[in-house]
């Protein structure tokens, strides 16, 4: 491939001292599906002064999460289904709180992103004519969903990673970025780089600090998994949105998250066939005694209860609208209440719920099991007939569900909100591009599978913008890390008594009890106050940490700030007036870390005339790359 004048294949290493400094035009933070696609998009468009810095190659949600049928959402490729980017954008944003122009970009690029994954080898099923069939997922009227099986995002990671390695894109593995660096310009703040810690070198001189001077930073650090006690995010995912909030990056819709039932020992969503076989639910005290089928008293009869359990298979995420009339989400609510009361909850496939008989199943459930040849006596026998890999999956993680119950909880799975980006996924901090789950493009109702699509599209859009406008080299500045080394010194010698691990326990507990699926408008203000109090204490009363604990302690700073800002957003949302339902709650921190909140009306889906000659002219003049949210009343300029 042709090289560009500024091309370097390895980031420039500037100093050989205790604190290495690198200069690179574009730093990509993270190595999930979003980050890797961004790197490939840049590389393949011959923008090669890039480096990926990641805390753990192979870590994160994309590579390690899955579900019954993990979904990718895109425009329909079913030859018999009429679809358009406009209609998909309308469906993406139908529930409100999503900008129409962003939805249009996600729809417009969805096939480009999808076919790129096909090209790289992700095995999405197709027929002999090359048609990719779709199925309906939640909030999806057009059967746009597809899947490569339970591990779609893992397969995406594998295929993207293989290409990254094949191209030889530089990867700095084991680097946890802990601070983003900015400078003030007349146009506002812009990014200048980042500081990281090399996990393997915290005990060496310099404590593993690494500095990146960069023109652009693509932030692809995933969802805020670490702020929750009950989480179905993989263990290797923590999230790092706090460092972006700290530099004043705007966020939006932080209060909108997805929660659902999952096993806690091995983190896995209990959707689909796990519920369709109607297992027994019970709770016990902390020692495993005093077994109670706690759901029974809350349902009018057994038929209604069994039906709600069965429906949970299709209706996995907690949805307040499905609580009334003994809907499937009532089960999540009761489960949450039970765990909040200090009891442990289990799902048992070896036993039927009390009073169960196949005759007591409502027609929908009975027909389903009958047509699937799965009308056996116990849940585990039904599961063996319906979906044996569902049993093998737990077996491969050392759990035998043919013999033992699974401990469960209502867990955080996905944050629809996150950092704000424009139509190029660029933040209000110039040259900072949040993509993937750390970007909060989704609104109130995100069709299942649109998270994976959005992550891929974000990388495409950021790469387009960087190629068109931001191909600049770093002008040999060496960032000062003096204040940072002082901070590390303080952490290593702190005389306080507050252990960072206790802070983590407190903040995770607060988020799962008050910022999870059940929220209380009456008490939330007090939780916000306690969250900021904890942040203040963390900054003033920290007990000294060992060098080997530095990374974990820095993470707690990030998570503590994050949980305070998320609770602020939740509090504002709980107290909003009804007329704000469609609007977006924007939130950011000022220089003094004071919270600024604003309800932003949504931008509509642009309905511009697609006149080829006109678009071509603008394309040649490169206006289509530099324009942002176009005022649609302003017609095409010369």
Ligand X SMILES: Cc1cc2nc3c(=O)[nH]c(=O)nc-3n(C[C@H](O)[C@H](O)[C@H](O)COP(=O)(O)OP(=O)(O)OC[C@H]3O[C@@H](n4cnc5c(N)ncnc54)[C@H](O)[C@@H]3O)c2cc1C
| Nearer CB in complex with ligand X: 261/538 | 261
Judged on CB neighbours under 10 Å (0-12, 13-18, 19+), 16 is exposed
Member of 120, 217, 408, 452 binding ligand X (CB under 6 A)? 452
Q: Judged by CB under 6 A, does residue 337 bind ligand X?
A: no
Member of 60, 170, 417, 517 binding ligand X (CB under 6 A)? 60
Minimum distance from CB of 103 to ligand X (Å)?
15
Minimum distance from CB of 618 to ligand X (Å)?
31
| Nearer CB in complex with ligand X: 54/420 | 54
Dihedral (CA of 499, 500, 502, 503) sign: positive
| Nearer CB in complex with ligand X: 223/353 | 223
Q: Judged by CB under 6 A, does residue 451 bind ligand X?
A: yes
Q: Judged by CB under 6 A, does residue 116 bind ligand X?
A: no
Residues 6+ apart with CB under 8 A from 585: 97, 252, 253, 254, 255, 569, 572, 573, 576, 597, 598, 599, 600
| Nearer CB in complex with ligand X: 71/336 | 71
What is the contact mask toward ligand X in residues 24 to 53, using x (rule: CB under 6 A)? -----xxxxxxx-----------------x
Member of 174, 279, 440, 449 binding ligand X (CB under 6 A)? 449
| Nearer CB in complex with ligand X: 49/437 | 437
Member of 110, 153, 213, 387 binding ligand X (CB under 6 A)? 153
At which residue do the structure tokens 């700095």 appear?
172
What is the contact mask toward ligand X in residues 388 to 427, using x (rule: CB under 6 A)? -------------------------xx-------------
The CA distance from 20 to 209, in Å, is 7
Give me Rg for the CA atoms of the chain.
Answer: 25
First and final C-alpha spacing in the chain: 34
The helix/strand/coil state of 210 is: strand
| Nearer CB in complex with ligand X: 353/516 | 516
Q: Judged by CB under 6 A, does residue 61 bind ligand X?
A: yes
Dihedral (CA of 399, 404, 407, 408) sign: positive
Q: Judged by CB under 6 A, does residue 436 bind ligand X?
A: yes
The CA distance from 100 to 417, in Å, is 15
Q: Judged by CB under 6 A, does residue 202 bind ligand X?
A: no
| Nearer CB in complex with ligand X: 446/465 | 446
Residues 6+ apart with CB under 8 A from 23: 11, 12, 14, 212, 213, 214, 473, 474, 476
What's the distance, CA 239 to chain centroid? Answer: 9
Q: Judged by CB under 6 A, does residue 67 bind ligand X?
A: yes
Q: Judged by CB under 6 A, does residue 562 bind ligand X?
A: no
Minimum distance from CB of 20 to ligand X (Å)?
16
The CA distance from 152 to 114, in Å, is 12
E-strand ranges in 264-350 read 268-269, 280-284, 344-348
Q: Judged by CB under 6 A, does residue 432 bind ligand X?
A: no
| Nearer CB in complex with ligand X: 110/283 | 110
Q: Which pair of structure tokens corresponds to residue 450?
A: 């649109």
According to CB under 6 A, which residues from 160 to 189 bind ligand X? 176-177
The stretch among 67-75, 204-212, 498-506, 579-587 that binds ligand X (CB under 6 A) is 67-75
What is the contact mask toward ligand X in residues 226 to 265, using x (rule: CB under 6 A)? ------xx---x--x-------------------------
DSSP conformation letters of 11-54: PEE---SSS-EEEEEEEEE--SHHHHHHHHHHHHTT---EEEEE
The helix/strand/coil state of 476 is: coil
Rounded to 5°, the CA angle 367-371-373 comes to 120
Q: Which stretches of the chain bind ligand X, using CB under 6 A? A: 29-35, 53-56, 59-62, 65, 67, 70-71, 153, 176-177, 220-223, 232-233, 237, 240, 269, 413-414, 436-437, 448-452, 455
């Amino acid at each position: 491939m042709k090289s560009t004048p500024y091309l370097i294949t390895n980031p420039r290493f500037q100093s050989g001292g205790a604190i290495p400094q690198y200069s690179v035009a574009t730093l990509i933070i993270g190595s999930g599906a979003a980050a890797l696609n961004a790197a490939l998009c840049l590389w393949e468009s011959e923008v090669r002064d890039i480096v990926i810095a990641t805390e753990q190659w192979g870590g994160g949600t994309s590579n390690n999460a899955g579900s019954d049928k993990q979904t990718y959402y895109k425009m329909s490729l079913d030859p018999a289904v009429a679809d358009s980017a406009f209609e998909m954008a309308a469906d993406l944003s139908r529930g409100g709180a999503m900008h129409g122009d962003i939805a249009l970009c996600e729809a417009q690029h969805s096939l480009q992103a999808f076919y790129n994954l096909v090209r790289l080898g992700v095995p999405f099923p197709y027929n002999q004519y090359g048609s990719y069939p779709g199925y309906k997922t939640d909030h999806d009227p057009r059967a746009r969903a597809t899947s490569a099986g339970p591990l779609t995002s893992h397969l995406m990671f594998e295929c993207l990673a293989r290409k990254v390695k094949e191209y030889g894109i530089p990867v700095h593995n084991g680097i946890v970025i802990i601070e983003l660096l900015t400078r003030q310009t007349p146009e506002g703040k812009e990014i200048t780089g980042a500081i990281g810690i090399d996990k393997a070198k915290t005990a060496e001189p310099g404590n593993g600090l690494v500095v990146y001077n960069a023109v652009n930073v693509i932030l692809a650090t995933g969802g805020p998994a670490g702020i929750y006690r009950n989480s179905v995010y993989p263990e290797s995912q923590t999230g790092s949105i706090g460092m972006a909030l700290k530099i004043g990056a705007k966020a939006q819709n932080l209060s909108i998250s997805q929660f659902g039932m999952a096993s806690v020992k091995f983190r896995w969503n209990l959707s689909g066939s796990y519920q369709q076989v109607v297992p027994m639910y019970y709770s016990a005290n902390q020692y495993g005694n005093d077994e109670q089928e706690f759901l029974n008293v809350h349902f009018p009869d057994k038929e209604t209860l069994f039906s709600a359990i069965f429906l949970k298979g299709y209706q996995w995420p907690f949805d307040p609208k499905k609580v009334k009339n003994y809907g499937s989400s009532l089960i999540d609510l009761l489960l949450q209440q039970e765990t909040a009361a200090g009891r442990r909850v289990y799902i048992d496939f070896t036993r039927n719920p009390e009073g169960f008989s196949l005759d007591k199943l409502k027609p929908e459930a009975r027909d389903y099991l009958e047509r699937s040849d799965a009308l056996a006596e116990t849940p585990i026998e039904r599961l063996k007939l319906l979906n044996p890999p569902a049993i093998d999956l737990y077996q491969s993680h050392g759990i035998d569900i043919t013999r033992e119950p699974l401990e469960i909880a209502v867990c955080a799975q996905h944050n629809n909100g996150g950092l704000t980006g424009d139509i190029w996924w660029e933040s209000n901090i110039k040259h900072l591009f949040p993509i993937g789950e750390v970007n909060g493009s989704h609104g109130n109702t995100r069709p299942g599978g649109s998270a994976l699509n959005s992550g891929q599209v974000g990388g495409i859009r950021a790469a387009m913008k960087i190629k068109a406008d931001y191909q600049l080299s770093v002008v040999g500045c060496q960032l000062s890390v003096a204040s940072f080394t002082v901070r590390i010194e303080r952490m290593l010698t702190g005389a306080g008594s507050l252990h960072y691990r206790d802070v983590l326990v407190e903040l995770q507990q607060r988020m799962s009890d008050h910022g999870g699926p059940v929220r209380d408008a009456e008490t939330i203000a007090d939780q916000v106050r306690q969250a900021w109090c904890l942040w203040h204490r963390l900054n003033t009363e920290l007990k000294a940490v060992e060098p080997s604990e530095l990374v974990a302690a820095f993470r707690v700073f990030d998570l503590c700030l994050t949980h305070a800002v998320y609770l602020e957003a939740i509090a504002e949302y709980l107290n909003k007036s009804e007329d704000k339902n469609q609007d977006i709650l924007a939130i950011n921190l000022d220089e003094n870390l004071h919270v600024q909140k604003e309800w932003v009306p949504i931008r509509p889906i642009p309905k511009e005339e697609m006149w080829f000659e006109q678009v071509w002219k603008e394309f040649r003049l490169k206006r289509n790359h530099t324009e942002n949210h176009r005022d649609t009343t302003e017609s095409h300029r010369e």
